[in-house]
């Protein structure tokens, strides 16, 4: 088949949306002829990788409004404007390609927010929208712990979601989709009323066999000190203020808590640790190179991921692949990734309850080595069976064939 992918973000060797775009393209090309429309910004790393490892039936087409060549990361207003303008150019290029090539299926891969449209879905061929996410929100009782800036961020995000839902182009995107994989039930509840069809929960994240094998080589360290670790940007909605308080409440004298990452919430978190008298057992490492971050994951016993509205992501998957039990809130993407066989999911009714339950989970895993081993092995098994990119590639191939067959039988 001839498949057209819309990948606003697409870059080899990366995580997040860039990694999703690249891996979906590569996996789709295992079984079909694939054209990918992406940003000119992504051209250098893509062409460098293809020069080293050619993929004959994978073709890239680059478009960029006004020749912009910046990432726009951390600048949501600029990013949203850029994305809209890019969509217009991508659609025009898609129409031009379709006249020559006659695609069998089109698919939007990245940008994955459900409140943003994908204009390639307007081509007269079956269209797959996703996996998409972004329908998650921090539960309102947790807002009282946020700074004024954090509350304004959450309010603006809620407004953007509601405006996006009313955007005629976004609603048209939803109605045009013949299959709509979504990362969480929160997003499913938002896109069904918009007219999306065949909505199913399906994570956008995955790991390569090489990454799974490499992470699986980390053995569990000796029992003491027990190390909890969190990896990610220090932002209010990542929930680290909850895990720092929980670690203090657990009162484990022979334990340490490592936080890897940087961000505007760091000073606030350091203040909490100091006020609670556990600053000597909490280490803020800052942002570290990926290799060093993975080594520190390997030197830890338990991964803590208390995010309040993640759609998905790689942190929990990497922790499971490394054989580390996961402690997370029962929210968003982590709620779908982590099971009773791989970690402990804590309800998120209010901050006090969440801190108490996180502390109990930390205490349980700190004192039970056999449970750590059991959950760690369960995580390895789940990643191999569900989140291996090769397994996802086989699913994509079956999906494309099913979509084309259903369309041709009409």
Domains of the chain listed by start with CATH number:
2-206+388-408 (3.40.50.2000), 209-386 (3.40.50.2000)
Dihedral sign computed on CA atoms, order 185, 158, 75, 150? negative
**Is 183:201 a contact under the CB 8 Å cutoff?**
yes
Of 254, 223, 226, 258, the residue nearest 243 (C-alpha): 258
What's the Rg (C-alpha) of the chain? 22
**pLDDT tens column, 310-327:** 887 689 999 999 999 999
High-pLDDT (> 90) share of the chain, %: 79
- Which of the four pLDDT bands, split at 50, 70 and 90, describes residue 410? low
Q: Does residue 356 have a pLDDT over 80?
A: yes
What pLDDT score does 336 carry? 92
- Which of the four pLDDT bands, split at 50, 70 and 90, describes residue 138? very high
Higher pLDDT, residue 296 or 290: 296
Dihedral sign computed on CA atoms, order 46, 80, 334, 399? negative
Instruction: Please list, in sequence order, all residues whose beta carbon lies within 8 angstroms of the beta carbon of residue 260, skipping any fewer than 6 positions away.
Output: 229, 230, 231, 232, 285, 286, 287, 288, 293, 296
Q: Does residue 45 have a pLDDT over 60?
A: yes
The rounded mean pLDDT for the chain is 92
Provide the CA 179 distance to its chain's centre, in angstroms. 20
What pLDDT score does 196 carry? 93
d(C-alpha 95, C-alpha 162), whole Å = 30
- Which of the four pLDDT bands, split at 50, 70 and 90, describes residue 408? low
**Is 337:349 a contact under the CB 8 Å cutoff?**
no
> To 10 degrees, the CA torsion angle through 266, 300, 324, 233?
20
What pLDDT score does 231 carry? 95
**Is 272:147 a contact under the CB 8 Å cutoff?**
no
CB atoms within 10 A of CB 32: 18
Low-confidence winner among 58-62, 139-143, 308-312 (lowest mean pLDDT): 308-312
Instruction: Please list, in sequence order, all residues whose beta carbon lies within 8 angstroms of the beta carbon of residue 201, skipping any fewer than 6 positions away.
Output: 181, 182, 183, 184, 185, 188, 336
d(C-alpha 277, C-alpha 392), whole Å = 46
Q: Does residue 75 have a pLDDT over 70?
A: no
What pLDDT score does 13 carry? 82
Low-confidence winner among 18-22, 30-34, 68-72, 191-195 (lowest mean pLDDT): 68-72
What pLDDT score does 222 carry? 83
**pTM for the whole structure:** 0.89
């Amino acid at each position: 088949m001839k498949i057209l992918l819309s990948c606003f973000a697409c870059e080899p060797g990366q995580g997040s949306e860039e990694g999703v775009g690249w891996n979906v393209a590569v996996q789709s090309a295992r079984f079909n002829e694939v054209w990918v429309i992406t940003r000119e910004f992504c051209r250098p790393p893509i062409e460098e990788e293809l020069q080293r490892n050619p993929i004959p039936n994978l073709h890239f087409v680059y478009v960029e409004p006004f020749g912009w060549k910046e990432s726009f990361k951390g600048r949501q207003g600029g990013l949203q404007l850029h994305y809209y303008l890019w969509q217009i150019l991508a659609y025009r290029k898609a129409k031009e390609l379709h006249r020559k090539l006659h695609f069998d299926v089109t698919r939007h891969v990245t940008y994955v927010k459900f409140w943003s449209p994908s204009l390639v879905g307007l081509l007269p061929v079956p269209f797959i929208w996703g996996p998409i996410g972004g329908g998650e929100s921090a539960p309102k009782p947790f807002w009282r712990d946020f700074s004024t800036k954090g509350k304004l961020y959450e309010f603006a995000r809620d407004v953007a979601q509601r405006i996006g839902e009313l955007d005629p182009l976004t609603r048209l995107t939803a109605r045009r989709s013949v299959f709509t994989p979504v990362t969480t039930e929160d997003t499913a509840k938002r896109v069904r009323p918009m007219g999306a069809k065949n909505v199913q929960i399906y994570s956008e994240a995955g790991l390569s066999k090489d990454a799974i094998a490499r992470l699986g080589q980390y053995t569990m360290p000796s029992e003491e000190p027990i190390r909890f670790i969190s990896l990610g940007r220090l932002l209010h909605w990542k929930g680290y203020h909850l895990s720092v308080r929980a670690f203090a409440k657990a009162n484990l004298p022979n334990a340490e808590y490592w936080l890897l990452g940087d961000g505007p919430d760091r000073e606030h978190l350091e203040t909490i640790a100091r006020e609670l008298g556990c600053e000597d057992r909490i280490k803020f490492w800052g942002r570290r190179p990926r290799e060093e971050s993975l080594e520190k994951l390997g030197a830890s016993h338990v991964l803590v991921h208390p995010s309040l509205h993640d759609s998905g992501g790689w942190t929990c998957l990497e922790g499971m692949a490394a054989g580390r039990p996961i402690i997370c809130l029962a929210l968003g993407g982590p709620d779908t990734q982590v099971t009773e066989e791989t970690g402990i999911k804590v309800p998120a009714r209010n901050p006090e309850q969440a801190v108490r339950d996180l502390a109990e989970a930390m205490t349980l895993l700190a004192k039970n080595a056999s449970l750590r081993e059991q959950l760690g092995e369960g995580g390895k098994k789940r990643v191999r069976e569900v989140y291996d990119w090769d397994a996802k590639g086989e699913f994509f191939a079956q999906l494309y064939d099913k979509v084309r067959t259903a369309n041709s039988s009409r």
